[in-house]
Amino acid sequence: MVISREDIRNVAIVAHVDHGKTTLVDELLKQSGVFRENQEVGERIMDSNDIEKERGITILSKNTAVYYKGTKINIIDTPGHADFSGEVERVLKMVNGIILVVDAFEGVMPQTKFVLRKALDLDLPVIVCVNKIDRPEARPDEVIDEVLELFMDLDASDEQLEFPYVYASAKAGYAVLQMEDGPENMTPLFETILNYIPAPTGDPDAETQVLISTIDYNEYVGRIGIGKVDNGKLKVNQEAVVVNHHNPDRKAKVRISKLYEFDGLNKVDVAESSVGSIVAVSGISDLSIGDTICSPENPIAIPFQKIEEPTIAMNFMVNDSPLAGQEGKFVTSRQIRDRLNRELNTDVSLRVEDTDSTDSFKVSGRGELHLSVLIENMRREGYEFAVSKAEVLYHKDQNGKTLEPIEVAYIDVPDEYTGVVIEKLSQRKGELQNMSSVNGGYTRLEFLIPSRGLIGYRGDFLTDTRGNGIINTAFKEYAPYKGDISYRPNGSLISFETGESVTYGLFSAQERGTLFIGAGEKVYAGMVIGQNAKAEDIEVNVCKTKHLTNTRSSGADDSLKLSPPTILSQEQALDYINTDELLEITPKSLRIRKKILDHRMRKRAAAKG
């Protein structure tokens, strides 16, 4: 008999990046009494890893649970960035409704559209939360109209168009149903969740069915599968079978050794869970997203949408530069392979393949940010390796024509910079689809552009718009190849010999372009030490010292004035490197280098190429 679990609500919080989801979850946690009265609580508690805290973005979806009026509300905080949208698609299978958070100033953004479309396709009810209403330039009523238009654009049903909405300031800790209501606390949002998000339903007496929607990983217990009990009960020590909708041959016999539910920020051991509960299961070594845990008597897999394919790839390889092994703890191909395979435990949008070389692995992901976060994590863990320039993954159609990934780029820029942005993106095969004015002297541009046209563009974009532009992208489709793009108009300044950079050598080199290094740094032949002002690569000797004579002393070098070097961040360096270059990554240093270090062999390869 199908029942409704009125004591549970399962809800996902979705939004465009930086619209305040994680801060909102923090407030719901604080106001539901999860923390002790005197407990020190930081900001954005849900963003647990260092990179999430530093960049202010959510990368992995997080589960938590709060209690309100005796009802357990399971909340899933999801990523807002397009590169991690694979996470969003999956967690929506666990919930019975969503809270769509929209910034009261920025309004509807690309990722708002993406996550809303997924929710409407699954027929999930939506609560709209207009956040940041205390911003001086907030325009909450206009934003509600924009959201309504978005629902209509996405062909929402009549019931879906009747969405409830609340106004909130997550930072100040309150929500209101009407703008004129006095701000107090989050109670209006809690009440709206209880009233509008349906309770989960299922048959507690049927055979067990639990769809695994997220994978966590813990070094002590291994893989942890997280999913919702759709039917039946799940108990510790229960015999079960793991099946998969997309893999009919999969039938693995398992025993449930550990079972958890969520309470606040913790996982709590339970002996049994019933219909509608969100649970975590450990002790099944090869459990993966999309698997269904079933009773052996009736092993029927729950349908599950396939994960979207990666669109971009780069090679991760053993560092073979003259400075290799001096700064990293993990440097061998076996250590790099093990670390990449470990990442596959939790990141289903990632692919790792062997290449012709045992020292190189092809790693594919959903975008530059997706791969750069992995690189940064590995670097912090003590890994040393080199990566190639990101390249897009092409497909072939039935007639053998090459297809490439196309993205929609939404760009908000101050009016005076629209010309330069349009010009740059047109050079990169971007096609302007739409142009409109937005509040505060900004223009919104909408482009269709090949994914490879965006590689290396973000650095230029920040420079061209003096850091005032916002660019957001979302994958659209595979379309016929748009023609060649020249990535970089400038050549590189390449070190001619191995040694230590000195002021005298750098002073001569800086007349040729922009330097990436200062004096007293280790360099080697074939290392890129700057950008040439012209199109070709040139070699410079930055280790060259002045010949001493009776009348000239070495102290004369002190009077030479060097311009401060341009220090590239990891993202900028990944953007900057050309197809014949690599980025050497160690826990302490980032160095750009040519793939072929020897200048004679480089010339031979160029002549053949």
Each residue's pLDDT tens digit, 461-484: 877 888 777 777 777 888 998 888
- Cβ-Cβ contacts under 8 Å for 178 (sequence gap 6 or more): 167
Does residue 154 sit in the same domain as residue 214?
A: no
Q: Which residues pair with 539 in a beta bridge?
A: 494
Assign 59 a pLDDT band (cuts: 50, 70, 90): very low
At residue 384, the pLDDT reads 95
Instruction: Write 239-242 long-range contacts (CB < 8 A, 24+).
Output: 239/296, 240/208, 240/293, 240/294, 240/295, 240/296, 241/293, 241/294, 241/295, 241/296, 241/299, 242/284, 242/287, 242/291, 242/292, 242/293, 242/294
151 found inside a domain: yes
Q: What is the pLDDT of residues 95-139, one digit of tens each?
A: 888 888 888 887 776 667 767 877 888 888 898 888 888 888 888
pLDDT at 423 over 50: yes
pLDDT of residue 40: 38
**586 lies in some domain:** no
Q: Examine residue 338 and state whether it is found in any structural domain, yes or no.
A: no
The domain boundary, picked from 200, 235, 256, lies at 200
The share of the chain scoring above pLDDT 90, in percent, equals 17
- Alpha-carbon distance 519 to 538, whole Å? 19
Residue 166 is part of a domain; what is its CATH number? 3.40.50.300
What is the rounded CA–CA span in Å between residue 405 and residue 126? 30
Can you give the pLDDT at residue 331? Answer: 93
Which of 158-172, 384-398, 547-561 bottoms out in mean pLDDT, i.e. has the lowest? Answer: 547-561
> 71-81, pLDDT tens digit by residue?
888 888 765 44
pLDDT at 216: 76
Whether the model pTM is above 0.75 = no
| CATH at 265 | 2.40.30.10
Q: How confident is the model at residue 548 (pLDDT cuts 50, 70, 90)?
A: low
Q: Note the pLDDT of residue 33.
A: 56
The answer to the question of residue 355 being in a domain is no
Q: Are 188 and 208 members of one domain?
A: no
The per-residue pLDDT for range 326-348, each reduced to its tens digit, is 999 999 999 999 999 888 877 77
Backbone angles phi, psi at 233, to 5 degrees: -130, 155
Same domain as 157, residue 37: yes
- 218/186 same-domain check: no
Q: How confident is the model at residue 43 (pLDDT cuts 50, 70, 90)?
A: very low
Tell whether 273 and 247 lie within a shared domain. Answer: yes
Q: Please check whether residue 339 lies inside any domain of the structure.
A: no
For residue 369, tell me if it sits in a domain.
no
Domain CATH number, residue 451: 3.30.70.240
Are residue 174 and residue 229 in the same domain, yes or no? no
Number of domains in the chain: 4
Tell which phi-psi region holds residue 155, choosing left (phi > 0), alpha (psi between -120 and 50) or beta.
left
* Same-domain check for residues 164 and 261: no
Find the domain containing 404 and state its range.
395-480
Asked if the structure places residue 307 within a domain, the reply is no
* Residue 60: band (very low, low, confident or very high) from pLDDT cuts 50, 70, 90: very low
Side-chain-side CA neighbours of 449 within 13 Å: the count stands at 29
Closest CA to 500 of 469, 541, 561: 541
Same domain, 196 and 207: no
Position 345 scores a pLDDT of: 72
Q: What was the pLDDT predicted at 329?
A: 93
Looking at the structure, do residues 248 and 195 belong to the same domain, yes or no? no
Asked if the structure places residue 352 within a domain, the reply is: no
Examine the pLDDT at 51 and tell me if it is beyond 80: no
Which CATH number covers residue 514? 2.40.50.250
Shared domain check, 169 and 236: no
Residue where one domain finishes, among candidates 167, 200, 233: 200
Q: How confident is the model at residue 354 (pLDDT cuts 50, 70, 90)?
A: very high
Both 176 and 97 in one domain: the answer is yes
Asked which of 294, 314, 341 is the last residue of a domain, the reply is 294
Residue 309: pLDDT band (50, 70, 90) is: confident
- Regarding whether 193 and 87 lie in a shared domain, the answer is yes
Q: Looking at per-residue confidence, does 562 or 219 come out higher?
A: 562
Share of the chain above pLDDT 70, in %: 87
Q: Outline where 265-402 has alpha helix (H).
A: 333-343, 368-380
